[in-house]
């Protein structure tokens, strides 16, 4: 179970254009911890055609990770499992992978490649929220105290560009295989 008090403002602040501070991570249940990648380990790759994005996804959202990749928020789901895979990225600094996140539209594809598996999500929600709003981190994004009932990916960055006043959140839902 996620420690919701340690989620949110501090971690989401890590993706802002201001210097990154050390970020407290959520603690996963002991049985899950051993299956999780180590901080900084490469999890996979994210591709978004609309944004012309192709970037590595690494475990963690600390400064060292976000300088070189999109960060996977510890304590949220991993691709291929029920729940919400939360990914954070800078908008204007370092590699700025989420620079064009505001261009995403409903139905756009978000592709996560993990090992030999590919997961295709379709954008269903785009919102601007306050920095302390943690609802995007729920197992079903924006549904408080929800139990996982599908597979989601949530992309978070700061908005407007160059500011940390708000967070831009894009949520995609996994598409069934055809």
Q: Would you say 123 and 171 are in contact if contact means Cβ atoms under 8 Å apart?
A: yes
CATH code (residue 138):
2.40.260.10
Q: How far apart are CA 21 and CA 143, in angstroms?
A: 28
pLDDT for 4 equals 41
Range of the domain at 114: 4-174
pLDDT of residue 20: 33
> What is the count of structural domains for the chain?
1
Q: Which residues pair with 123 in a beta bridge?
A: 172
Distance of alpha carbon 14 from alpha carbon 164, whole angstroms: 10
- Across the 178 residues of the chain, what is the mean pLDDT of every consecutive 10-residue run? 43 46 34 67 97 97 96 94 96 94 98 97 98 96 93 97 95 88
Residue 36's pLDDT is 76
Residue 74: Cβ within 10 Å count:
24
pLDDT given at position 177: 77
Tokens found for residue 100: 């064009």
Residue 178's pLDDT is 66
pLDDT of residue 27: 35
Distance of CA 166 to the CA centre of its chain: 16
| 78 dihedral zone (left: phi>0; alpha: psi -120 to 50; beta) | beta
């Amino acid at each position: 179970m996620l420690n919701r008090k340690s989620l949110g403002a501090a971690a989401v602040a890590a993706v802002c254009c201001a210097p990154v501070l050390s970020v407290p991570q959520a603690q996963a249940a002991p049985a899950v911890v051993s299956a999780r990648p180590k901080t900084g380990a490469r999890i996979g790759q994210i591709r978004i055609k609309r944004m012309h994005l192709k970037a590595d996804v690494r475990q963690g959202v600390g400064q060292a990770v976000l300088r070189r990749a999109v960060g996977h928020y510890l304590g949220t789901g991993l691709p291929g499992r029920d729940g919400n895979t939360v990914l954070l990225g800078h908008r204007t600094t370092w590699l700025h992978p989420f620079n064009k996140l505001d261009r995403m539209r409903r139905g756009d594809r978000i592709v996560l490649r993990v090992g030999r598996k590919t997961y295709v999500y379709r954008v269903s929600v785009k919102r601007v929220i306050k920095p302390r709003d943690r609802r995007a981190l729920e197992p079903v994004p924006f549904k408080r105290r929800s139990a996982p009932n599908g597979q989601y990916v949530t992309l978070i960055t700061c908005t407007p560009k160059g500011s940390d006043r708000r967070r831009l959140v894009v949520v995609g839902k996994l598409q069934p295989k055809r």
